[in-house]
């Protein structure tokens, strides 16, 4: 038997990195949110996936859009992680960002950048899973931001000891 509390506790005790995923509305406004459901899927073609809660205000922009951008956050971007998870705030006025070739917003300071074309969307319970094909990528070689139980930070110095 599986209950939702056990499920939530197990997933909450699974540490992840953190990303911010962005896209543009049909009116060409930038939108984005903090996401840790991100993972790689395939090398050939290069595919990644993430899932968006159907209750997120910008759900339809992502589910019906053609492109999105995944920023894997750097260790010093805890403020960006919180900003893009905070409701009712003008997120893009508080970061440095620019448009890419496809008219998608790219935020500065990332550890890694994956500019994606929507490959497939999957209806998945209370979420929609988006699978993206990577069309452009950039790696900044910066230490990543880690997330666990509502805390975030860089890789602990003891991590590579053994």
Ligand X SMILES: Cc1cc2nc3c(=O)[nH]c(=O)nc-3n(C[C@H](O)[C@H](O)[C@H](O)COP(=O)(O)O)c2cc1C
- Interface residues with ligand X (CB under 6 A) are 18, 33-37, 50-53, 56-58, 81, 84-85, 87, 147
Closer residue to ligand X, CB minimum distance, 149 or 162: 149
Closest-approach residue to ligand X (CB) = 37
DSSP tally for the chain: helices H, then strands E: 3, 12
120-143 burial code (b ≥16 CB/10 A, e <16): ebeeeeebbbbbbbbeeeeeeebe
CB of 8 to ligand X, least distance (A): 14
CB of 140 to ligand X, least distance (A): 20
* Cα–Cα distance measured from residue 127 to residue 111, given in angstroms and rounded to the nearest whole number: 26
CB of 137 to ligand X, least distance (A): 20
For the record, the structure tokens of 78 come out as 């805890």
Closer residue to ligand X, CB minimum distance, 51 or 142: 51
Closer residue to ligand X, CB minimum distance, 35 or 107: 35
Contact 45, 133 (CB under 8 A): yes
């Amino acid at each position: 038997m599986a209950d939702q509390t056990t499920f939530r506790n197990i997933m909450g005790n699974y540490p992840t990195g953190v990303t911010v995923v962005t896209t543009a509305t049909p009116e060409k406004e930038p939108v984005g949110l903090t996401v840790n459901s991100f993972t790689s899927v395939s090398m050939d073609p290069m595919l990644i996936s993430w899932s968006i809660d159907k209750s997120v205000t910008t759900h339809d922009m992502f589910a019906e859009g053609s492109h999105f951008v995944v920023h894997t956050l750097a260790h010093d971007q805890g403020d960006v992680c919180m900003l893009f998870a905070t409701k009712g705030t003008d997120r893009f006025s508080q970061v440095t960002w620019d448009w890419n070739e496809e008219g998608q917003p790219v935020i500065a300071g990332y550890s890694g950048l994956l500019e994606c074309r929507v490959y497939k969307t999957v209806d998945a319970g209370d979420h929609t899973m988006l699978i993206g094909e990577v069309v452009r990528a950039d790696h900044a070689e910066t230490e990543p931001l880690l997330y666990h139980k509502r805390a975030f930070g860089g890789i602990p110095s003891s991590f590579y000891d053994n």
